[in-house]
Amino acid sequence: MTNHFAAITCLLFASHVTALPTRFNKNTNDRPIIGILTQIVTDDVMKPYGNTYIPTGYVKYIESGGSRVMPVRVNQDAEYYEDIFQKINGLLLIGGAADLQTSDFARVAKIFFKLALKANDAGDYFPIWGTCMGMQQLSVLVAGENLLSKTTAENEAMPLNLTAEAYLSKMFQDFPAPLMKAITQEPLTANFHNYGLTVQTVLENEKLNNFFTILSTNVADNGAHFVSTIEGKKYPFYGVQWHPEVNRFQWKSDKNFPHSYNAVQLSTLLAQFFVNEGRRSLHQFEDPHEEEKVLIYNYNPVYTANFTAYERVYFF
């Protein structure tokens, strides 16, 4: 009887494995590396520490999703980025302050954007995520021009006005129904921006409207109806005007960082989602020693809570 029960159990388990989603197939990369594009230091109080930086919240956010992190410098030549592109499994464009058309940040983002378009068209999966200014940068790359307007929501936590498309999206497909409801009712998203894309701009611009699906919107202090979450229709490119990383990794008491259970769950699932997208990329370093040398583990963050909005920052 025991053997009979074991056989049934094994049969049920085998059936369950067969039914697993396609993203868990044999071609999945379980050792992903996500590149995070550094920002140029513009604040005088930060300049003594380095020329470029990444707040630790972004690094821990990606690591918490199950990926390693490589800082991608913004002061290298095109050949360097073309080489790195073949070795990492996704790119995160972080928030900050930079000219979205003329800065080094914009230059490097454009290189990766073009490489990712070409790769994905050829069946070589490569995701890109933009947070706050990173999302704005994606919009400039798609539209070929800066279409941002004043949409101030500075230090404000908001719920999201989800569109009907959000419930059919890749980004939110695995979210439990109670959390989806909470997202629309509770202030779970931290906003720190003065500019953004209005809904009207996206709908009226053929390039943006054909490229992105609007998943959520919000209303700015000036009444502007802005786009807060987007997802590529054809390409695995995603953007949020808000900051999911702060829900778990930033704690300044004078900032409206959501830390409720639902806020943490939202951040957790989004990190896992994007890293899971990275697992679909089969890029890799051929030399393990080179791989070890470029990872974020080789750098020590600096405590900056006493002079920036971040607890700690990696400087380069």
Residue 86, in any domain of the structure:
yes
3-class DSSP assignment, residue 290: helix
Distances (CA, A) of 58 to 77, 96, 143, 285: 24, 12, 26, 22
Mean pLDDT of 273-302: 98
Q: Report the residue count for the chain.
A: 316
Residue 251, in any domain of the structure:
yes
Residue 22, in any domain of the structure:
no
pLDDT at 269: 98
| pLDDT over 80 (residue 18) | no
| pLDDT over 50 (residue 145) | yes
The total of structural domains in the chain comes to 1
| pLDDT over 70 (residue 7) | no
Helix, strand, coil percentages (3-state) for the chain, rounded to 5, are: 40, 20, 35
Instruction: Give the pLDDT confidence of 92-130 residue by residue, as tens digits.
Output: 999 999 999 999 999 999 999 999 999 999 999 999 999
pLDDT at 10: 40
pLDDT at 303: 97
pLDDT at 25: 52
Write out the residue range of the structural domain in which residue 52 sits. 32-315
Active-site residues, by number, are: 132, 243
Is 72:115 a contact under the CB 8 Å cutoff? no
Q: What is the CA radius of gyration of the chain?
A: 20
Task: Write phi, then psi, for 299 (nearest 5 degrees).
Answer: -125, 150
Is 67:275 a contact under the CB 8 Å cutoff? yes
At 298, the pLDDT band (50, 70, 90 cuts) reads very high
Residue 7, in any domain of the structure:
no
Mean pLDDT of 47-62: 97
Calpha distance 253→284 (Å, rounded): 40
* % of the chain residues with pLDDT over 70: 92
Calpha distance 211→197 (Å, rounded): 14
| pLDDT over 50 (residue 13) | no
| pLDDT over 80 (residue 247) | yes
Mean pLDDT (the chain) is 93
Lowest mean pLDDT among 7-11, 141-145, 210-214, 301-305: 7-11
At 8, the pLDDT band (50, 70, 90 cuts) reads very low
| pLDDT over 60 (residue 86) | yes
pTM of the model: 0.91
Mean pLDDT of 238-265: 97
Give residues with Cβ within 8 angstroms of 164, minimum separation 6. none
The H-or-E segment that residue 55 falls in is: strand 52-55
Residue 164, in any domain of the structure:
yes
Residue 4, in any domain of the structure:
no
Residue 5, in any domain of the structure:
no
Is 309:252 a contact under the CB 8 Å cutoff? yes
Instruction: Give the pLDDT confidence of 221-232 residue by residue, as tens digits.
Output: 999 999 999 999
Residue 8, in any domain of the structure:
no
Is 51:75 a contact under the CB 8 Å cutoff? yes
Residue 234: which CATH number?
3.40.50.880
Single out the residue of 68, 67, 72, 95 nearest to residue 82, CA to CA.
72
Calpha distance 149→131 (Å, rounded): 17
Q: Which two tokens stand for residue 265?
A: 């769950």
